Amino acid sequence: MDMNDFLPITKKDMEKRGWDQADFIFVSGDAYVDHSSFGMAIISRLLESRGYRVGIIPQPDWHDEDSIAVLGRPRLGFLVSAGNMDSMVNHYTVNKKRRHSDAYTPGGIIGKRPDRATLVYCNMLKKKFNDVPVIIGGIEASLRRLAHYDYWSDKLKRSILMDSGADILVYGMGEHAIIEIADSLNKGLAVSDITFVRGTVYKTREIGSIELPHVELPDFDAMMADKKEYAVSFNIQYLNTDSITAKVLTEKYGEKRYIVQNPPAAPLTMEEMDEIYELPYMRNYHPSYEKLGGVPAIQEIKFSLTSNRGCYGGCSFCSLAFHEGRVVQARSHESLIREARILTEDNDFKGYIHDVGGPTAEFRRPACDKQITHGVCSDKQCLYPHMCKNLVVDHSDYLKLLRELRSLPGVKKVFVRSGLRFDYLIADKDETFFRELCRYHISGQLRVAPEHISDNVLQLMGKPGKKVYDEFCERFKTINESLHLKQYIVPYLISSHPGSTLNDAIALAESVRDMGYMPEQVQDFYPTPSTISTCMYYTGLDPRTMKKVYIPATYHEKAMQRALIQYRDPDNYDLVREALIKSGRKDLIGNDKKHCLISWSHPAGKSNLNRRQKNKSLSD
């Protein structure tokens, strides 16, 4: 059997490799896609490169306890992840309605993983293999590593390590941690003694032996009794996400139970990034899924290139700083060129590289040289409220990379679809990249994320003010006119973010009116675990300042705020009219199309069938 193959998912696969036992078995809520955009594939291939035998159990049937044992007992341990997405976000819309499809499941079928998948899989494993170490990781575990607000139950929940029964949790991007854990287990160290690995969380009844400086967070009972205590705790956590400056954090449960979070693992070097992304991935979903129509998620990523990790953007509603960190890590041009050449050899490649980027496309280095030796600043952001004087604004490296990629034989066009920071883009005094972006790397539309236009809301979001976005739009228009191109900006907007009042939502609707463009889709703020915005939503406080924040928490108000952004939709008329009257803005109701949002008379409604279809689309 060719060892450059998919990793075993059955006993028969193991036998073909001559294995009688795997060293590690990875249990995942995702289907098995052997591609570097999937955490399961990265961790498994990395362990394989270090000589470990890794088997995969993708999407076990949680109704059947034997499904977790199809590969037998591993020699060293089980690895568990809910998948590339949090299982609750994967399953439910912001209105807590069940989604209709799952891009990470064969055929897009929903329901092939349980709610709170990490908990369910761990409980199954501990019931079946109680004496085998269980290591959890991935986005679901990482963002629930300490006490956290859970939107779906509307409760503060304990660390997932407490409720899952797992032995150790790997948070963030886990390459360094998983190798150190694997080597420790392989040397015979008990999992209970692996308390020294950076980027991990563990349980203990004694914190007196912690050697590094540590900070005691408010205990769980105190946070349950007072939401303010959770805001205090979250701010401490947020200030301890840098590998150089972070301290050990401890969180007490009851009399003598503690969760201990070690400092984050060090960012990957460029050489390590190259190695990770050039492991021998099959670059596709497992062939057993072909008859089901394949795994939809592969379509967008198969011909895309991941060029970086980390983000110093500092958006309040984003979990990147908490998960990947604020220090940007990048791959070399040579590594990306090698991968691009592999893409061009694929029979399905049509000449288009769909994306070259990561969390923020044009970030190719740390924000400043200080971050490399002293860590990120704990008392200020790089881009907000104003760009730091030490920030290096330079697109030349990314520009050079894109030029190299689009010159490759067989490549017709290279798109940039990852998020671009428009404030960073216009801060570059050299307009060369902006011009080439418009000329070569978009096709008619450029998606950017102003999120809102109210400076009050933007301040809480950690986003630049409206003037910055207006300047970007003007420069985009000027550049495209000079290139004789008709291209448009498609803004991504969030409604009902903490701090957004009805008046703020109306101001946003007026801005949409002046743009002459009605967004087809608007995202209600989704309180996912471990973001500053989610902390605001739960506590009513900004954890950075402890000042009170207005929260549009009721479903009806959130519906009005969303409807205002899509005020032209006849189905939204009643909600928009109610919001305008309630806010004393009857001046926006009338027949003046340049000024008013709606008329006094209700426009002709759509059929009930069309309305149901539209509501179903929005809920997806």
pLDDT digits (tens, 9 = 90+) for 461-495: 999 999 999 999 999 999 999 999 999 998 999 99
Decide if 197 is inside a domain.
Answer: yes
**Which of 241, 261, 281 lies at the terminal end of a domain, its last residue?**
261
Identify residue 269 by its one-letter amino acid code.
Answer: T
Q: Model-level pTM?
A: 0.93
**Could you tell me where the beta strands, DSSP code E, fall in 35-113?**
54-58, 77-81
Q: Which stretch of DSSP H or E encloses residue 284?
A: strand 284-285
Whole-number pLDDT of residue 131:
96
The CA distance from 237 to 535, in Å, is 12
- For position 206, what pLDDT does the model report? 87
| pLDDT confidence bin for 169, thresholds 50/70/90 | very high
**CATH number, position 499:** 3.30.750.200
Pairing status of strand 77-81 against strand 134-137: parallel
421-469 per-position pLDDT tens digit: 999 999 999 999 999 999 999 989 999 999 999 999 999 999 999 999 9
Q: Would residue 353 count as lying in a domain?
A: no
Mean pLDDT of the chain: 94
Which residues are CB-neighbours of 95 under 8 A, at least 6 positions away? Answer: 524, 555, 619
Q: What are 576-618's pLDDT values in tens digits?
A: 999 999 999 999 999 998 899 999 998 865 444 444 444 444 4
435-468 CB burial, b ≥16 within 10 A, e <16: ebbbeebbeeebebbbbbbbbebbbbbbbbbbeb
Section 531-541 average pLDDT: 98
pLDDT of residue 419: 84
Identify whether 360 is part of a domain. Answer: no
**Confidence grade of residue 518 (pLDDT, cut at 50, 70, 90):** confident
Mean pLDDT on 117-137: 97
Distance between CA 376 and CA 245 in Å, rounded? 8
In the three-class reduction of DSSP (H, G, I as helix; E, B as strand; rest coil), residue 320 is classed as helix
Inform me whether the pLDDT recorded for 380 exceeds 80.
yes
The pLDDT value given to residue 2 = 44
Give the count of alpha carbons within 13 A of 586, CB side only: 3
Rounded-to-integer distance, Cα 448 and Cα 259, Å: 39
Is the residue at 95 inside a domain? yes
pLDDT at 80 (0 to 100): 98
Q: Count of CB atoms within 10 A of residue 407's CB?
A: 10
Say if 606 falls within a structural domain.
Answer: yes
The answer to whether residue 3 scores a pLDDT higher than 60 is: no
* Res 583: pLDDT: 96
Mean pLDDT (whole number) for 104-117: 97
Domains contained in the chain, number: 2
- Look up residue 469 and give its two tokens: 């976005």
- pLDDT digit string, tens, across residues 298-311: 998 999 999 999 99
CA angle 600, 601, 602 (to 5 degrees): 120
Domain of 86 in residue numbering reads as: 11-204+254-261
Please say if the pLDDT value at position 177 is more than 80. yes
Specify the pLDDT at position 515: 84
What's the pLDDT score for residue 418? 87
The rounded distance, in Å, linking the Cα atoms of 167 and 132 is 9
199 Rama class: left (phi>0) / alpha (psi -120 to 50) / beta: left
Can you give the pLDDT at residue 397? 97
Range scoring the smallest mean pLDDT among 104-108, 254-258, 545-549, 613-617: 613-617
CATH number at residue 34: 3.40.50.280
Q: How far is CA 10 from CA 72, 77, 105, 295, in A?
A: 10, 17, 18, 19
3 state DSSP class of 590: coil
Q: What is the pLDDT of residue 38?
A: 97
Percent of the chain with pLDDT over 90: 89
For residue 495, give the H/E element and its range. strand 488-495
Question: Which of 291, 279, 260 is closest to 194 using CA atoms?
Answer: 260
pLDDT over 90 at 413, yes or no: yes
Whether 358 maps to a domain, the answer reads no
pLDDT in tens, 200-249: 999 999 887 787 889 999 999 999 999 999 999 999 999 999 999 999 99
